[in-house]
Amino acid sequence: MDLKRIDEIINQHTDTHDGAYPPVIPILQDIQSEYRWLPEPALVHTAKRLRVPLVDLYGIATFYQSFRLTPPGEHQINLCMGTACHVEGAPLILGKLERKLGIKAGEVTEDGKFGLDEVRCVGCCALAPVMVVDEDYHSLKGKKDVGKIIDEKRKSDEKVSN
């Protein structure tokens, strides 16, 4: 793991920050944007650099839902579990996705291709039920085959690798 990159991220924040407590959350957010999750060596190094107990970093990383302590799937599927999505049948869709991928929410497929998460409202309630695949928002209103979106992703990946 390249700890130099972690140092760069930390320096960007500590140089400009004048608060009493080190800006832990923005630093962890930037580490996560770089690696898509928070690898243990990165957390250990950050704790040392900031002179913050590792347990405090762990506390923050587990308190806030956006932090991941395990790697996500190559494609991350976030199924919205907001009220409007719930009323429009999100729980049934979750079951479909779990069966399609052979994993439970919160897990990643064995080949590492797809990760599935339930997420709190993504704020696209008018499109409910909503699924976000990587950065793309999909309205599943009236769509019977949610598996198709996954199949298409898989297909386009295969095309790229060929």
Task: Report which secondary-structure segment, H or E, holds 106.
Answer: none
Query: Is residue 81 at the binding interface for other proteins, with CB under 8 A as the rule?
Result: yes
Angle, CA 109 vertex, CA 106 and CA 113 arms, to 5°: 110
Residue type, 134: D
- The least distance separating other proteins from the CB of residue 160, rounded to whole angstroms, comes to 22
Longest dimension (CA), the chain: 53
The secondary structure of residue 109, as a DSSP letter, is -
Q: 97 or 108, CB closer to other proteins?
A: 97
Distance CA(162)–CA(151), nearest Å, equals 17
Q: Is 48 in the site for other proteins (CB under 8 A)?
A: no
Q: For residue 78, which phi and psi values (nearest 5 degrees)?
A: -110, 115
22 touches other proteins (CB under 8 A): yes
User: Does the protein bind other proteins through residue 89 (CB under 8 A)?
Assistant: yes
Contact between 14 and other proteins by CB under 8 A: the answer reads no
Contact in structure between 79 and 97 (CB atoms under 8 Å)? yes
Which stretch of DSSP H or E encloses residue 102? none
Nearer to other proteins, 71 or 158 (CB): 71
Segment near other proteins (CB under 8 A); pick from 1-9, 37-45, 106-114, 135-143: 135-143
Please identify, among the stretches 34-42, 69-77, 81-89, 104-112, the one whose residues bind other proteins according to the rule CB under 8 A: 81-89
Contact set with other proteins (CB under 8 A): 19-26, 28-29, 59-60, 63-67, 81-89, 92, 95-96, 99, 119-128, 130, 135-139, 141-144
